[in-house]
Amino acid sequence: MQTGWAPSAGPAAPVPARPWRRWLLAATAAWAVLLAVLTWTSVRDDPPTVREQRTLDQAGPVVDRAVGELVRAAGATNLLELGAARVAEGCRVTPFADGARLRRDVGVLAPTGTERTVLTGIAERLPTSWRARVGSGLNGPELYADAGEFVAVEGRPTVDGQVRLVVDTGCRPTGSGYAPATATATGPEAAALTAALGALGRPSDAAPELVTAPCPGGGLAQTVRSAGGPGPAASTAALAALAGNAPLVDEPPVYAYRTGPVTVLAELGPDDAVRVAATVGCPG
């Protein structure tokens, strides 16, 4: 029989940590830090990669400049009017976030049978970065272009001897909203509007609607518009003298003509309502 102390039953000595585990933890921490730095740098410096990263107030200047490019490409003799900006709210950016959509349009003269030629000429004069092209749509030729910053441009014929070019942001966050540029109609377009209203038996408009777009080479394209209510019976024939009997469009109830640098577009609506727009385009 063996006598003496019984062997100790205490805890075993700790096993030394393996060096590769420490390196793995250090590498994981370093990788996490690197990802955080790259993410912060991308958010700060990289351009947006989806439309939802640009708000409506950020897209507004892009739309305005695009309208100016379209005006220049259309040419002063073909330009009819700049349409008012339209903001439609209530669309969905995501299933959980509301947004808004901004559209602006430009009316261009295109007599029946010339629509494709007009659209092709506009496409050729747009910036090459827009990759503008004209294809066949369901109801005739259509123009497509990319104005940048996820702003689309489309153009197609209408039924009244025009093509309508539309600049569209698509649905995106509203941000602080779209703020149109402010200006004052004091040039030849204001005088042309007053003369046309007078010929149609309408008083001059003390506060006409004014729509502008920045021209690529500087200055502004402007449309000043009066949308009066019902009044005395009017006829577009009353504008013949102002047109020098050489109208651009004479398809009642639509009549358009040039007077100096101004294009005047008149439309007679139901109940003898009169809508008149006078427009000055961009040089070149």
Contact in structure between 267 and 253 (CB atoms under 8 Å): yes
Angle, helices 115-125/56-74, rounded to nearest 10 degrees? 120
> 86: which residues sit within 8 A by CB, 6+ positions away?
102, 103, 104
Q: Decide which of 3.40.50.150, 3.30.2030.30, 1.25.40.10, 3.40.50.620 is the CATH code for 51-168.
A: 3.30.2030.30
Contact in structure between 60 and 212 (CB atoms under 8 Å): no
43-54 residue pLDDT tens: 344 444 444 568
Beta strands at 86-94 and 97-109: parallel, antiparallel or unpaired:
antiparallel
Question: Residue 165 corresponds to which amino acid?
Answer: L
- Is the bond into 253 cis (omega within 30 degrees of 0)? yes
Give CA separation, 92 vs 98, 101, 179, 219, in Å.
Answer: 5, 10, 21, 36
Q: Is the confidence at residue 3, as pLDDT, over 70?
A: no
Predicted pLDDT at 236: 84
What pTM did the predictor assign? 0.80
**Max CA pair span of the chain:** 138
* Domain residue ranges in the chain: 51-168, 188-280
Predicted pLDDT at 44: 40
Q: Is the confidence at residue 134, as pLDDT, over 90?
A: yes
State whether residue 137 is helix, strand or coil: strand
Core vs surface per residue 91-114: b (16+ CB within 10 A) or e: eebeeeeebbbbbbbbbbbbeeee
73-128 residue pLDDT tens: 999 889 999 999 999 998 988 888 889 999 999 999 999 899 999 999 999 999 99
